[in-house]
Amino acid sequence: MRQFLFSITILCLAQTLQAQEWFVKKDLQPEWQVYVGNSYQPFDSAARKVNNTIYLKLDLQVYRGDWLEIHGIDPFSLFQQGKLVADNKKEIIISVDSLHKFTREPVWFAIYTEEPISTRTLTTRIVTPVDQKLNEYVGPLPRVKQFFRNFILVAGLVLTVFFVLILRLNPKVTFYYFSAPRLLALRESDDGQSLRVTSSANILFYLFASLLLSLGLMAMALETASSFKLLQFLQEQSFVALLLRWLYTSFFILMALFIKAIVVGFVATLFGIRDQAGFHFLAFIRFTLLIGFLLVFFTAGNFLIRGGSDGWTSFFYGSLLWFLLGWSILIFLKLLRRVNFSVFHLFSYLCATELIPFLVIIKVLYE
């Protein structure tokens, strides 16, 4: 009964401490161990062995006044000396002093998950409140990895130079793409020059949109623990690897845009509205640029100012679904005023050009 009441107490405290700001005093990942045969061995992240349980041996007297923070992508169970402390949790912050009541000797902790454990799916740290004086043995506090910030700054500089270049080459098309009021208006005039999907100026904007959108997605993935496979795929641990991942992701987004252009042109021809294919596709590119700009401005800006934030990432990543729904409604209303279709006929056209790609995008984003 005492163990049960203790578990309830510390879990309630953990919920009230979510808004507290913390300093990281020590990352416990280097101390992870696995039980192999009849002995404990250091956890090897490079090994291909599947481990569902990791062990930690801690001298709790060293960390008196601090807190044990555990965060996992998958639900985990925490045991202390074989006794269950927390079950089916994704995040927990426990007072070390509370754990210290059981014993004054170094103790073993075990963390179990049903999914394989890796350094990307589980973090274990000793943290202390920001208003608490740190002990002298701690040394310098770890900061956000500098190469993350360098990547954001370099990528932002590249995009800025790219934007200035295309602005100087063709200012008319640039203003067409970045006119938000015109994009959101239900009626807008045709622009013969800008509606040529295969023009060199438009292709530059396809590339710019790909780079912008991929940077926004990568900014959300930096220093965050997410269960979404796409965000895990975008995480890297060096500056060069981040740049290569950015270019790699941009290439796939660019290929997806070309496929989108082919699909829209083909379906528009089948429905007898080939003259609207350019308007439809370029409106999608303009919307993609708008979303990419918002993502980069808020997620990259927040990262440079405050560092990685799981809450901020979850909010913006979840909002992508609503942006896509908003786009589907917007293009429906725009085309309704440009074609002599019935509502059902237009809906059938959009099912082929928007609904099916929408489901594919949702599958990729939220798997």
Instruction: For 342-358, write each residue's pLDDT tens digit.
Output: 888 888 999 989 988 88
Residues 123 and 235 in one domain: no
Residue 343 lies in a domain: yes
Residues 80 and 200 in one domain: no
Domain stops at, among 129, 157, 176: 129
CATH code: domain of residue 31: 2.60.120
pLDDT digits (tens, 9 = 90+) for 211-253: 999 998 888 877 666 667 787 788 777 888 889 999 999 999 9
Mean pLDDT, the chain, integer: 81
Residues 203 and 156 in one domain: yes
The reported pLDDT for the residue numbered 115 is 84
Amino acid identity of residue 302, one-letter, is: N
Residues 321 and 216 in one domain: yes
| Stretch among 46-60, 203-217, 282-296 having the lowest mean pLDDT | 46-60
Residues 103 and 35 in one domain: yes
Residue 26 lies in a domain: yes
Q: The pTM is what? A: 0.62
**pLDDT tier at 83, thresholds 50, 70, 90:** confident
Three-state helix/strand/coil letters over 291-331: HHHHHHHHHHHHHHHHCCCHHHHHHHHHHHHHHHHHHHHHH
Residue 306 lies in a domain: yes
The reported pLDDT for the residue numbered 104 is 64
Residues 115 and 156 in one domain: no
Residue 99 lies in a domain: yes
pLDDT digits (tens, 9 = 90+) for 181-198: 888 887 776 654 456 788
Please choose, from the candidates 291, 280, 302, 309, the residue with its C-alpha nearest in 3D space to the C-alpha of residue 365.
Answer: 291
Q: What percent of the chain is predicted at pLDDT more than 70?
A: 82
Give the C-alpha separation, 348 to 329, whole Å: 14
Average pLDDT over residues 103-111: 81
pLDDT digits (tens, 9 = 90+) for 123-154: 898 888 765 444 444 444 444 457 788 888 99
Residues 65 and 155 in one domain: no
Average pLDDT over residues 276-283: 89
Residue 310 lies in a domain: yes
Is the model's pLDDT at 255 over the cut of 90?
A: yes
Q: How many CB atoms neighbour CB 148 within 10 A?
A: 21
Residues 168 and 83 in one domain: no
Q: What residue numbers bound the domain in which 107 lies?
A: 2-129
Residues 179 and 82 in one domain: no
Residues 159 and 104 in one domain: no
How many domains would you assign to the chain? 2
